[in-house]
């Protein structure tokens, strides 16, 4: 059984804003029955160009229904500009989190929203260059790249959880890994780690603190979490997660992927991050 | 709220008589059956009795019974033993609809260099026996085909298949985890060399299974260690669970008729009433050769996990072949092998009954499920479209 939050259960058992709007200002349908979930979203604006009503129809599991219900609640009262800033993480946060394997339900919501806004604006942001990577679920390289960047994904498994790419025959795993590698390779600074001068322990700890403060904490705080440096033993950086991160099932992935990567980049490539109970 | 438990192919309740039989062997009679003293010796006698009871249900000799930890261990032992005893042969035959205990093992062996034939099934979930016979080659080291499918309940003609293998000197194994206790099995009158069963599918506890190995079959143990099970399975016996399994087999023998009358009629009524009350619903798998306790029904244009969670509100326990519940992103490999369309596969629900179900259990499902299906279909973007299409067609 999935570990759903009470909020997910509430929105699944009593979904809000179901149905379709007649003569909508924006409408879109994403997903497919073959893929196991699909979402049709429509919205209408009021005279102040704010979203007065948003409705959905969903084919999918409990978290797909809850994500769509949450999205329509988030949308109400927003301007188009505000709505464009809504991410899949906002949907998941609204529901108090989703199991990692179910994050693709929130991504489906974000996709439906983007397409519905495109429909309203009468433009298509479709990038013609995008190429289908996952044939089983029809996921493009652009979609994978956006999910990796927005959600700091670092493994093929995480990409599958968020986009479904790679969840079928598995033939595209190498391609997905290549996309991940390319994204993080281009983010690395010019100078190689070999040219980094030897640093003392005191310098190292100070740099770790600075990096956490400057590069890591703001991102975690954005998601309602926090991090505390507990100790540094050799190259082992012992940290404790706080706030939302402490209870988040994805925090292990966040730790390894994001915190360690930042510390390796800015302090020393030899560092290993470990989560400890504080 | 009382559970309405219709998920007996997943696991079953330990029967009261079974629990009573096993409990003294935790605290009062905890001796090791291998010990010399009479405190252990009395436990050994109880194991002998359990072995006789299992053998009686299978129509086998007690010495052909090896106790294991689960169905998966039995399956793994059988297949790897056959391969070890036919080292020059490189071919394995199985079906596309096996339980993961066989399917994933065979996929693993394929990666190790074995040639694996995974026989397809037709839309009704049946094997093509001509295709099976044609796949038997001089290079075939083992055949492993399940007796009855866990998802659809479809029964395979394993006795006929084993006979064809025997004619060619090929060892034949069957995963009979779902079949034992539900349909009569007499090993003395068939050609099956090895058979797996699992305790918790027939009202014994989880964590105990059996591998039947026909006398004269060359055998290599999977767990190597002590002399237990005549050196065929090392490790101190799970005494209370083995005693429980013996009792459960005795009960199953006595309940076989009830399984095929009472349980079958409850299942048939459940199926007929749901199909009648819910449009665009369909049974998966042939209804002609099927376990008496299982029905697998698809409800088009909705998703199985949602159905299960809404049924959960009423205490109804069942399972689904949908992607969301299969632990992967694809729906059940069994339904896909049968070519069940995605519109149907994602909305499949398996009800599996036991002798402990009542007419009231079935009444509750017949009353509560149709509104659940209707509620989810109103939410589904495909339902209205399909209705429109039907109206204009």
The per-residue pLDDT for range B40-95, each reduced to its tens digit, is 999 999 999 999 999 999 999 999 999 999 999 999 999 999 999 999 999 999 99
pLDDT at A128: 64
Chain B residues close to A15, C-beta within 8 Å: 379
* A76 within domain boundaries: yes
pLDDT at B214: 98
Mean of pLDDT values over A168-184:
89
Mean of pLDDT values over A238-244:
80
pLDDT at A239: 86
Give the list of residues 6+ apart from residue B383 with CB closer than 8 angstroms, or none: B301, B302, B377
- The total domain count for chain A is 3
The per-residue pLDDT for range A99-128, each reduced to its tens digit, is 988 999 999 999 999 999 999 998 876 566
Same fold, B4-10+256-382 and B16-252: no
* Residues A137 and A109 both lie in one domain: no
The per-residue pLDDT for range B89-143, each reduced to its tens digit, is 999 999 999 999 999 999 999 999 999 999 999 999 999 999 999 999 999 999 9
| A vs B: CB pairs below 8 A | 69
Angle, CA B374 vertex, CA B373 and CA B376 arms, to 5°? 65
Residue A208, Cβ neighbours under 10 Å: how many? 22
Percent of chain A with pLDDT over 90: 44
The per-residue pLDDT for range B276-335, each reduced to its tens digit, is 999 999 999 999 999 999 999 999 999 999 999 999 999 999 999 887 766 667 889 999
Percent of chain B with pLDDT over 90: 92
The per-residue pLDDT for range B136-185, each reduced to its tens digit, is 999 999 999 999 999 999 999 999 999 999 999 999 999 999 999 999 99
Domain coordinates of chain B in residue numbers?
Answer: 4-10+256-382, 16-252
In angstroms, the CA A129 to CA B277 distance is 49
Given the residues A61, A105, A172, A248, the one annotated as active site? A105
Inter-chain residue contact B306 with A65, CB threshold 8 Å = yes
B4-10+256-382, CATH topology level: 3.90.1150
What range does the domain containing A153 cover?
132-187
Confidence class of residue B275 from pLDDT cuts 50, 70 and 90?
very high
In angstroms, the CA B209 to CA B249 distance is 12
Which residue, of A150, A167, A187, is where some domain finishes? A187
Angle, CA B328 vertex, CA A106 and CA B375 arms, to 5°? 60
Which residue, of A87, A121, A155, is where some domain finishes? A121
Domain B16-252, architecture per CATH: 3-Layer(aba) Sandwich (3.40)
* Residues A15 and A109 both lie in one domain: yes
- Residue A248 designated active-site: no
Please tell me chain B's helix, strand, coil percentages from 3-state DSSP, rounded to the nearest 5: 45, 15, 40
* A166 within domain boundaries: yes
In angstroms, the CA B145 to CA B142 distance is 10
* Residues A61 and A15 both lie in one domain: yes
Which residue, of A169, A187, A205, is where some domain finishes? A187
Q: Chain B neighbours among A 104-143 (CB < 8 Å)?
A: 136-137
In angstroms, the CA B331 to CA B346 distance is 6
- Write out the two tokens for A269: 């490539």
Confidence class of residue A191 from pLDDT cuts 50, 70 and 90?
very low
* A127 within domain boundaries: no
Find the CB nearest B382 among A18, A33, A137. A33
* Residue (of A109, A116, A93, A107) closest to A140 by Cα position: A107
Confirm or reject contact between A18 and chain B (CB < 8 A).
yes
Mean of pLDDT values over B235-241:
97
- Alpha-carbon torsion angle A168, B128, B100, B71, nearest 10: 170
- B190 neighbors B172 (Cβ within 8 angstroms): no
DSSP string, A175-220: HHHHHHHHHHHHHS-SS-GGGSPP--HHHHHHHHHHHIIIIIHHHH
Q: What is the CATH number of the domain that holds A215?
A: 3.30.300.130
State the best of A61, A99, A166 to mutate against chain B, taking most chain B CBs within 10 Å.
A61
* A77 within domain boundaries: yes
How, if at all, do strands B194-198 and B209-213 pair?
antiparallel
pLDDT at A196: 53
ipTM of the complex: 0.85
- Alpha-carbon torsion angle B257, B261, B266, B270, nearest 10: 120
* Residues A10 and A65 both lie in one domain: yes
Chain A residues close to B322, C-beta within 8 Å: 36, 61
pLDDT at A192: 47
pLDDT at A50: 96
Confirm or reject contact between A64 and chain B (CB < 8 A).
yes
State the best of B317, B323, B328 to mutate against chain A, taking most chain A CBs within 10 Å.
B323
* Residues A200 and A178 both lie in one domain: no
* Residues A58 and A22 both lie in one domain: yes
* Residues A226 and A176 both lie in one domain: no
How, if at all, do strands B65-68 and B91-95 pair?
unpaired
Mean of pLDDT values over B371-385:
91
pTM: 0.81
Q: Which of A53-67, A149-163, A228-242 has the lowest mean pLDDT?
A: A228-242
Alpha carbon of A173: minimum distance to chain B alpha carbons (Å): 15
């Amino acid at each position: 059984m999935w570990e759903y939050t009470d909020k997910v259960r509430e929105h699944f058992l009593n979904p809000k804003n179901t149905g379709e709007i007649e003569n909508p200002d924006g409408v879109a349908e994403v997903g497919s029955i073959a893929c196991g979930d699909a979402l049709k979203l429509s919205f209408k604006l009021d005279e102040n160009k704010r979203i007065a009503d948003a409705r959905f129809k969903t084919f999918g599991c409990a978290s797909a229904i809850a994500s769509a219900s949450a999205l329509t609640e988030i949308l109400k009262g927003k301007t188009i500009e505000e709505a464009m800033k809504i991410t899949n993480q906002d949907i998941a946060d609204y529901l108090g989190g989703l199991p990692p394997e179910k994050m693709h339900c929130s991504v489906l919501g974000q996709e439906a929203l983007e397409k519905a806004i495109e429909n309203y604006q009468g433009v298509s942001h479709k990038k013609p260059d995008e190429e289908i990577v996952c044939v089983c679920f029809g996921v493009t390289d652009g979609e994978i790249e956006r999910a990796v960047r927005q959600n700091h994904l670092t493994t093929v498994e995480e990409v599958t959880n968020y986009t479904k790419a790679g969840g079928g025959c598995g033939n595209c795993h190498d391609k997905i890994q290549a996309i991940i590698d390319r994204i993080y390779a281009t983010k690395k600074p010019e100078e190689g780690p070999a040219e980094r001068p030897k640093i003392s322990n005191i310098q190292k700890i100070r740099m770790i603190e600075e990096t956490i403060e400057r590069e890591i904490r703001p991102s975690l705080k954005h998601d309602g979490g926090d991090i505390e440096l507990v100790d540094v033993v050799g190259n082992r950086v012992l940290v404790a997660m706080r706030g939302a991160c402490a209870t988040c099932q994805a925090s292990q992935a966040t730790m390894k992927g994001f915190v360690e990567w930042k510390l390796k980049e800015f302090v020393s490539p030899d560092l290993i991050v470990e989560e400890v109970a504080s | 709220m009382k559970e309405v438990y219709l998920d007996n192919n997943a696991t079953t309740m330990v029967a009261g008589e079974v629990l009573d039989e096993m409990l003294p062997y935790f605290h009062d009679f905890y001796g090791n059956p291998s010990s010399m003293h009479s405190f252990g010796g009395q436990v050994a006698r109880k194991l002998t009795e359990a072995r006789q009871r299992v053998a009686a249900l299978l129509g086998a000799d007690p010495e052909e019974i090896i106790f294991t930890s689960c169905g998966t261990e039995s399956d793994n032992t059988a297949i790897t033993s056959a391969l070890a005893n036919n080292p020059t042969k490189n071919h394995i035959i199985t079906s596309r609809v096996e339980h993961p205990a066989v399917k994933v093992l065979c996929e693993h062996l394929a990666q190790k260099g074995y040639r694996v034939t995974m026989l397809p099934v037709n839309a009704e979930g049946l094997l093509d026996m001509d295709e099976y016979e044609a796949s038997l080659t001089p290079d075939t080291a083992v055949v492993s085909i399940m007796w009855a499918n866990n998802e659809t309940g479809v029964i395979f003609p394993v006795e006929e298949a084993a006979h064809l293998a025997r004619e060619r000197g090929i060892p034949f194994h069957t995963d009979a985890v779902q079949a034992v206790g539900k349909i009569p099995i007499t090993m003395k009158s068939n050609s099956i060399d090895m058979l797996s069963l699992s305790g918790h599918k027939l009202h014994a506890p989880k964590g105990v299974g059996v591998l039947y190995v026909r006398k004269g079959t060359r055998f290599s143990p999977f767990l190597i260690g002590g002399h237990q099970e005549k050196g065929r399975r090392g490790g101190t016996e799970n005494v209370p669970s083995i005693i429980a399994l013996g009792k459960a087999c005795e009960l199953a023998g006595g309940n076989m008729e009830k399984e095929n009358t009472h349980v079958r009629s409850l299942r048939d009524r459940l199926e007929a009433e749901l199909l009648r009350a819910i449009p665009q619903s369909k049974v998966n798998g042939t209804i002609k050769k099927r376990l008496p306790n299982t029905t697998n029904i698809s409800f088009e244009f909705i998703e199985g996990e949602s159905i299960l969670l809404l049924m959960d509100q009423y205490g109804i326990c069942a399972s689904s072949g949908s992607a969301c519940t299969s632990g992967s992103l694809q729906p059940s490999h069994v339904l896909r092998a049968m070519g069940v369309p995605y519109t149907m596969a994602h909305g499949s629900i398996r009800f599996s009954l036991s002798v402990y179900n009542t007419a009231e259990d079935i009444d509750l499902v017949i009353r509560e499920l149709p509104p659940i299906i209707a509620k989810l279909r109103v939410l589904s973007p495909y339902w209205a479209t399909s209705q429109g299409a039907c109206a204009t067609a």
